[in-house]
């Protein structure tokens, strides 16, 4: 096994410290996978987490596909499960807890106790070659998932087998990631419980709506920021906070009267004035906090109903007076509300929704945010498929 030199060890410790500061689960998985691949020069990789006794496809990165189509990030939101058994490399590693290196998955040695599942290759039109799969094991020896990196590349972009040094690096990240993953999972569950609490008060809202709005927001921001030339590290840092904060955009509705929230007929002017206060009440929930996430949550809760032309609420902010995060969540929230079916309305036709969103550029929405949204619409659709409404909200 490789003996790390001092600069290398210092860099790994710095990365590990950063991982422990990340709160959002998806941002954490993104960082873990990126750093594992960077150290091993792997072209692609994925992370599977165990849920309900199966491996759930949780995150993916693929440099080759990104070069072909930089805007096509929809595979991140693909969803499928893999059984914990020998029918796949991931399943075998999760079953046994043993790391596995394979030089070519399409040329497995006869008699090996595992097999290769080409499900993702078939779906993504990608060709897997060499694979390194490492279990994610907690300190109490519980396996919570696996990290798999794919196709080690040399400078000529030829695929090479992984080696013991690579195994050392990925094992380091896996061993140090499990605590951070468990903590991020608890944070995600806490956020979802808060959104479900709002859902109990307001039958028009769902926790899946909050999940979608959070995912829409980080992808819209990512596209907007890349076009602006914002450094990657800054993008990653804001995305970590934005996902959580955007999910909590309507949490202030817990303070609104049931007589208003559950009213099926149009609100009176007085009732609508009261309803609008949910923006201020939501912001107040995060007051007096020093955390970046809480500050951003307060900002979004207060400003996601402001409009680009100054006709929104609560403060009639106009154009760039509205914080960027508020402008992004404004579009994400309206889009999801229009395209989703609810007990009080049918879903709008998709083309009608897109025409409306485009027509509101420069009115309700920031024109640049509309442009970024349209450019990544394949990703937006993939998010909708990943987080569908539960059946009781579709009827």
Q: Note the pTM of the prediction, 2 decimals.
A: 0.81
Question: pLDDT tens digits for 26-64?
Answer: 888 888 999 999 999 999 999 999 999 999 988 888 888
Pairing label, strands 54-62, 143-153: unpaired
Give helix then strand counts, H and E, for the chain: 16, 7
Mean predicted confidence (pLDDT) in 85-101: 95
**Which residues are identified as catalytic?**
253
Instruction: Kindly list the structural domains of the chain, giving each domain's residue range(s) and its CATH number in brackets, ordered by start.
Output: 6-184 (3.30.450.40), 202-393 (1.10.3210.10)
Q: What percent of the chain has pLDDT over 90?
A: 58
How confident is residue 395, by pLDDT bands cut at 50, 70 and 90? very low
101 forms bridges with which residues in the sheet?
Answer: 132
> Given a cut of 70, is residue 125 above it in pLDDT?
yes
What's the whole-number mean pLDDT along residues 253-265?
A: 82
pLDDT at position 394 is 43
pLDDT at 326: 98
- Give the least confident one: 189-193, 227-231, 372-376, 381-385: 189-193
User: How far is residue 65's CA from residue 72's CA, in Å, rounded to a whole number?
Assistant: 8
| DSSP letters spanning 122-159 | HHHT-----EEEEEEE-TTS-EEEEEEEEEEE-TT--E
Q: Which of 4-13, 126-135, 163-172, 262-271 has the lowest mean pLDDT?
A: 4-13
Residue 6 has pLDDT above 80, yes or no: no
- Cβ atoms of 51 and 136 within 8 Å: the answer is no
Which of 12, 4, 6, 19 is CA-nearest to residue 236?
Answer: 19
Distance CA 69, CA 30 (A): 19
Return the pLDDT at 191. Answer: 83
pLDDT tens digit string along 126-146? 899 999 999 999 888 899 999
pLDDT confidence bin for 327, thresholds 50/70/90? very high
Residue 344: its pLDDT value, please?
Answer: 67
Per-residue pLDDT at 236: 87
pLDDT of residue 393 exceeding 70: no
Question: Is 60 exceeded by the pLDDT of residue 2?
Answer: no
Question: 62 φ, ψ to 5°?
Answer: -155, 105
Burial of 365 from C-beta contacts in 10 A (0-12 / 13-18 / 19+):
buried
């Amino acid at each position: 096994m490789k003996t790390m030199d001092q600069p290398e060890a210092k860099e790994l410790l710095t990365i590990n410290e950063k991982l422990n500061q990340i709160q959002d689960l998806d941002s954490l998985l993104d960082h873990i996978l990126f750093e594992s691949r960077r150290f091993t020069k792997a072209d692609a990789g994925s992370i599977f987490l165990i849920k309900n006794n199966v491996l759930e496809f949780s995150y993916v990165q693929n440099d080759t596909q990104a070069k072909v189509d930089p805007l096509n990030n929809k595979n991140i939101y693909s969803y499928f499960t893999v059984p914990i058994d020998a029918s796949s490399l991931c399943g075998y590693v999760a079953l046994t807890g043993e790391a596995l290196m394979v030089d070519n998955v399409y040329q497995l040695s006869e008699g090996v106790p595992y097999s290769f599942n080409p499900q993702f290759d078939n779906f993504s039109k990608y060709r897997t070659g060499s694979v390194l799969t490492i279990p994610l094991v907690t300190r109490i020896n519980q396996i919570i998932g696996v990290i798999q990196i794919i196709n080690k590349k040399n400078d000529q972009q030829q695929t090479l087998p992984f080696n013991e040094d690579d195994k050392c690096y990925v094992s380091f990240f896996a061993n140090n990631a499990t605590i951070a993953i468990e903590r991020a999972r608890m944070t995600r569950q806490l956020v979802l419980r808060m959104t479900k609490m709002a859902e109990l008060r307001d039958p028009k809202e769902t926790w899946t709506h909050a999940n979608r709005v959070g995912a829409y927001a980080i992808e819209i921001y990512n596209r907007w920021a890349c076009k602006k030339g914002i450094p990657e590290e800054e993008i990653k840092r804001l995305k970590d906070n934005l996902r959580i904060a955007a999910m909590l955009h309507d949490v202030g509705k817990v303070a609104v009267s049931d007589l208003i929230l559950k009213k099926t007929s149009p609100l009176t002017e007085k009732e609508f004035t009261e309803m609008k206060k949910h923006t201020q009440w939501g912001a107040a929930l995060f007051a007096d906090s020093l955390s970046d996430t809480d500050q951003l949550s307060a900002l979004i809760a207060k400003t996601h109903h402001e409009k680009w032309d100054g006709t929104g609420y609560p403060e009639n902010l106009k154009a760039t007076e509205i914080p960027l995060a508020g402008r992004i969540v404004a579009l994400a929230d309206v889009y999801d509300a229009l395209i989703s079916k609810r007990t009080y309305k049918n879903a709008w036709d998709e083309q009608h929704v897109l025409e409306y969103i485009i027509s509101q550029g420069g009115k309700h929405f920031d024109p640049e945010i509309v442009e970024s949204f349209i450019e990544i619409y394949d990703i937006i659709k993939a998010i909708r498929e990943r987080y569908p409404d539960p059946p009781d909200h579709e009827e």
